[in-house]
Amino acid sequence: MQGVTPEPRLLAGVPRGRVLCFAPHPDDEAIGPGGALALHARQGDAVRVVIATDGSSGDPQHRHDPATYAALRRSESTAGLRALGITDVGFWGFPDNQHYSATDLALATRMAAEALRAHAPDVVYLPWECEGHGDHHVLHLAVVQALDEAGFRGRALGYEVWNAMVPDVLLDITSVVEQKRAAMKCHASQMAYVDYEHVILGLNAYRSLVHGKGRGWAEAFRVVR
């Protein structure tokens, strides 16, 4: 008979220090750890976001001009991050929804290690290990390998988007939930396909069950390091 799943710890707040967030697509930085990033920005931490893919597969009904669509996705991320109080963002430009080879994974790992060495973060956010989207899973693998290659000794937290996790820790984001909502709304090209405001803030509301008695909003994380 299996034991009871341990109750996740409630973080007193986001840890202080330099922050590096790895996002698979232009919007995951807001959808996943957007509340945590806003809290870091609010307390004056240096936050950098790296977005791995160009988001070029995010318009299956071809509502936008393919020649300018990747630029649109970048502009939406830039605007969304401003809503979170963040201006430091880099785009790797990998095509999304691809079959990734060992060579691709090695390249992503090298780029992640370079980003870690350049920014020297104390806190890293990355997709958690069981994300159901292939781009998310590959980025998780690349960043985990890069943490070792770069000799990272800080705290790394995995965030959820496509698959709800059994979390290790929870973070109350009630004080910045409207910033997260505003950041997600900046991704109009994606909100036209999926109501992320409804589903993600609903997930964040559910995360308040354990420590908030169902009041407010929280983000859930798995401890990677």
Which pLDDT tens digit goes with each residue over 27-56? 999 999 999 999 999 999 999 999 999 999
Q: Which of 24-33, 54-63, 118-127, 199-208 has the lowest mean pLDDT?
A: 54-63
Q: Distance of alpha carbon 142 from its chain centroid, rounded?
A: 15
Sorted by where each begins, the domain ranges of the chain are: 17-223
How far apart are alpha carbons 188 and 169 in whole angstroms? Answer: 30
Dist. CA 144–CA 134, nearest whole Å: 15
> Is residue 1's pLDDT more than 50?
no
Region 64-72 average pLDDT: 96
Which residue's entry shows tokens 């909502």?
Answer: 181
Fold of 17-223: Rossmann fold (3.40.50)
Per-position DSSP letters for 32-97, written without gaps between them = TTHHHHHHHHHTT--EEEEEEE--TTS-TT--S-HHHHHHHHHHHHHHHHHHTT--EEEEEEEPSS
Kindly state the tokens that stand for 51. 């977005």
CA angle 97, 103, 104 (to 5 degrees): 25
Q: Cα(78)–Cα(82) distance, rounded to whole angstroms?
A: 6
Residue 183 scores a pLDDT above 60? yes
Per DSSP, the three-state class of 160 is: coil
pTM, rounded to two decimals? 0.95
Nearest to 223 by CA among 4, 6, 3, 1: 6
